[in-house]
A and B are shown apart, each in its own frame.
Chain A
Amino acid sequence: MLDQALNLLLSNQNRDGGWGAVAGKHSNTEVTALGALALRSAGADAAAIDKAQSWLSQRQQADGSWPLNDSAKGASWATALALIALSEVPEQRERAVKAGNWLLQQEGGKPGVLAALVLFVTRQKSAVRLNQDLIGWPWTAGNFSWVEPTSYCMIALKKIKQKLPAEPFQERIGQAELMIYDRMCAGGGWNYGNAEVYDEKLWPYPDTTALALIATQDRRQRNENQISLRTLHELALKADSGLAIAWASICFALYGQDNSAFKNALTQRFAKSQFLGENKAWALALLALGDGARYFRV
């Protein structure tokens, strides 16, 4: 499967060096960052790796951020993934540090005084049960903090922490970790970032559970991590999804657990669906089947 997935990923690489979500779509930062890492992990042709890394380095903006793609040019959440990818390239590390400093300045917003006042005056109970004062990272500037972008940013910043100013790093990461644990679903695991609405529990997803666990891998002894690892094990074993199994496999590798069952499941799933032709899932599978977990080690 490894060769097949690599060939598919290479054949879908756009002329500009990047990848879109599927064949024929314009290159974007998220898939190109993961694609570049996947090619490195699989020991692909250096020219293809260089093209992917060049696509990334050419698109870093003056403030250190990356846009989503050439159409949506504003700073984006995908900056964290570009940082992770380029932090592996010695000559690009300055770019990674610049991105890290930019990430430290970004934070999720709060619903605000007005929303709280409306709830109080109308005597409505809050629909969700989460601590809105805990700040992580949003998908879009100024919006609420969510699990997936926060996890990417935590992984990215933790990878280059030695190069970042200590105080803001500690402050942001400390609060982001609290936010991640606050959003954990009952019984372990994470979804997009909301565990309960109107007293009814929401359920965890394997992909975001794996990401939150990867982001908190240096807190592995915590009870939340341990029960969420068990949750991930259950979720990923029955996941009909290359993306979910790949993230789970990477997560278990980082936690030093046997992930051979997930690697087998990934191969079987690929044979069945080819992951719907999604470049991101192919890239993650290559990372999971090879030694790609190391790129997410903090």
Chain B
Amino acid sequence: MTPWLSACDQTPRWQRDAYIRPKRSQVAILGAENYHKPLRDVIQRGIELCRLETRGKRVLLKPNLVEFDPNGVINTHPALIEAAVDAFKSLGAREVVIAEGPGHRRDNEYLLTASGLYDVIKQHRVRYVDLNNDDVRLTALKSGFTHFKKLYLPETLYQADLLVSMPKLKTHHWAGVTLSLKNMFGVIPGSVYGWPKNALHWAGIDGSIVDINSSLPLPRFAIVDGIVGMEGNGPLQGQAKHSGVLVFGADLVAVDASAARLMKIEPRKVKYLEMAGEFLGNLGLEQIDQVGETIDRFQQDFRVIENFADIKKLV
């Protein structure tokens, strides 16, 4: 283990038990042309390729519902969430719950209805938990990339067995990319930290992403919605970019590294991925076992805003 050291005081920035980087990580890449074709089987295959154990578990699906724009592609598509509900149920999950703490809007009824997720919840009779207004528990952080030593986390996280991050494949105007790690901003309760999760921004977006992901109290898995992603001024105002791909894996750093490569973005140049790659998961191509399809087959050139031009230089 090589702890990431502070430039000034040489103190390791994470606790020993926060170090979870495996020797190798498996990431599955599967094609999915559009949202109209059945997606359950693709998701089931992705889960099985990653050998994820789901039987008897309470599974929490965490999509990206930060905001809604009828003309945009901000959110994880409801058809994909619906297919994930189906797939996890088929694979023997005890319960599937959808949970999100939207970053901008406080109006859940509007967001769920407008995004189409309300129909999924109603039709499949799944529970939806508003993580912004859940009961909270003060949780000690296992890394120290921000001034936070503790964060309030939603109780629902403590009652689940598996947290599935379901982000959209997007570029991001503050962080470079927003994928399964950044998607975890949505578990931080707005009732405590405000909207648009401003306390995290002020503490440093990159450090906050790492501190949250090092300290979540349950195992994780990721399913990235790259059927239609977003390039340019993401996460809200970018342009739609069709990629026809889904990315799966239990090492969220490796999943995000592969997803970044799918966008022709160098993961080692995305600050928070580099930090997370030191102790939370694998960034290097040589440590990732790519299963399913190859990156080359679905790779697209996603535009980024000028400030992030450097992350487009693949190494």
Contact = CB atoms under 8 A, between A and B. Distances in A.
Residue among B109, B133, B237, B307 with most chain A CB within 10 A: B109
Interface in B77-112: 104-110, 112
Given A198-B173, A273-B113, A205 B198 contact: no
Interface string A168-208: 00000000000000000000000110100110101101110
A139 interface: yes
Contacts of B44: none
Contact of A197 (B112, B113, B135, B237): B237
B100 to A, nearest CB: 13
A273 B109 contact: yes
A233 to B, nearest CB: 17
Interface string A25-60: 110101000000000000000000000000000000
Interface residues of A, number: 47
B135 A26 contact: yes
Contacts, number: 114
A109 B201 CA distance: 13
Contacts of B174: 127
B167 to A, nearest CB: 20
For chain B, what secondary structure do more than half of its interface residues adopt (helix, strand, loop), or is it mixed? mixed
A135 interface: no
B298 interface: no
Nearest to A203: B69
Nearest to B109: A241
B198 A140 contact: yes
Contact of B112 (A25, A194, A276): A276
Interface stretch (B49-57, B189-197, B206-214): B189-197
Interface string B230-269: 0001001100000000000000000000000000000000
Given A71-B135, A127-B173, A198-B173, A144 B112 contact: no
Given A139-B198, A198-B233, A205-B107, A25 B134 contact: yes
A240 B109 contact: yes
Given A21-B130, A138-B198, A72 B136 contact: yes
B69 A243 contact: no
A77 interface: yes
Interface string A119-134: 0000010010000000
A140 B110 contact: no
A264 interface: no
A135 to B, nearest CB: 14
B106 A148 contact: yes
B108 A278 contact: yes
A214 B217 CA distance: 41
Contacts of B237: 197-198, 200, 202
Contact of B133 (A21, A77, A192, A203): A21
B195 A72 contact: no
Interface string A144-181: 10101100000000000000000000000000000000
A65 to B, nearest CB: 14
B110 A239 contact: yes
Given A25-B134, A124-B307, A146-B194, A244 B199 contact: no
A196 B136 CA distance: 32
Question: What range describes how many residues of B lie at the interface?
Answer: 35 or more
B297 interface: no
A244 B136 contact: no
Residue among B106, B110, B113, B193 with most chain A CB within 10 A: B110
Contacts of A191: 104
Given A21-B130, A243-B107, A143 B113 contact: no
B108 A276 contact: yes
A192 B104 CA distance: 7
A25 B110 contact: no
Contact of B195 (A127, A146, A203): A146
A64 interface: no
B238 to A, nearest CB: 9
A22 B69 CA distance: 26
B285 interface: no
B110 A243 contact: yes
A242 interface: yes
B152 interface: yes
A102 interface: no
Given A198-B173, A241-B113, A72 B152 contact: yes
A146 B194 CA distance: 9
Nearest to B132: A21
Contacts of A242: 109
B7 interface: no
10 contacts: A22-B133, A30-B191, A138-B194, A143-B194, A146-B198, A207-B106, A241-B113, A244-B109, A276-B118, A278-B108
Given A139-B198, A198-B233, 6 more contacts: A127-B174, A197-B173, A197-B236, A241-B107, A276-B109, A281-B109
Interface of B: 69, 104-110, 112-114, 118, 128, 130, 133-138, 152, 173-174, 190-196, 198-199, 202, 233, 236-237, 305, 307
Interface of A: 20-22, 25-26, 28, 30, 68-69, 71-72, 76-77, 109, 111, 124, 127, 138-140, 143-144, 146, 148-149, 191-192, 194, 197-198, 200, 202-203, 205-207, 239-244, 273, 275-276, 278, 281
